[in-house]
Amino acid sequence: DAKTTQPPSMDCAEGRAANLPCNHSTISGNEYVYWYRQIHSQGPQYIIHGLKNNETNEMASLIITEDRKSSTLILPHATLRDTAVYYCIVGEDNFNKFYFGSGTKLNVKP
């Protein structure tokens, strides 16, 4: 089962930052936090991941709390093309099978 909890849906105005929260209170020390998104029925698209430190790449920023029990994905300037289901996944370092939850449906509105 998924070890994460996310709100089922969120709205965001185009051009504004989208902040998507995720709770993973049972995360263990060797588990990473991964974020993916899925547009329609396409394959999940990797966005960003982290272990302890905050991370930033060209797509997004990932803020992980100090106790690692929750994280936030930030899309700094959301566009209509960012409308998708966003998944927060906790994966262990080993063979790392992913359990997908229901994710957050992000609706970016003009």
Partner 1 sequence: EPEVTQTPSHQVTQMGQEVILRCVPISNHLYFYWYRQILGQKVEFLVSFYNNEISEKSEIFDDQFSVERPDGSNFTLKIRSTKLEDSAMYFCASRERRGEPQHFGDGTRLSIL
Query: Does 45 sit near partner 1 (CB under 8 A)?
Result: yes
CB of 15 to partner 1, least distance (A): 26
E-strand ranges in the chain read: 9-13, 18-23, 31-38, 45-50, 55-56, 61-64, 70-75, 84-92, 104-109
Instruction: Please identify which residue in the block is written with the tokens 């063979």.
Output: 95
* Site size toward partner 1, by CB under 8 A: 24
102 in contact with partner 1 (CB under 8 A): yes
**For partner 1, which residue of 8, 29, 43, 110 counts as binding (CB under 8 A)?**
43
Does 93 sit near partner 1 (CB under 8 A)? yes
102 near 7, Cβ under 8 Å? no
54 binds partner 1 (CB under 8 A): no
Nearest CA to 46 out of 5, 87, 90 is that of: 87
Sites of contact with partner 1 (CB under 8 A): 2, 32, 34, 36, 38, 41-46, 49, 51, 87, 93-102
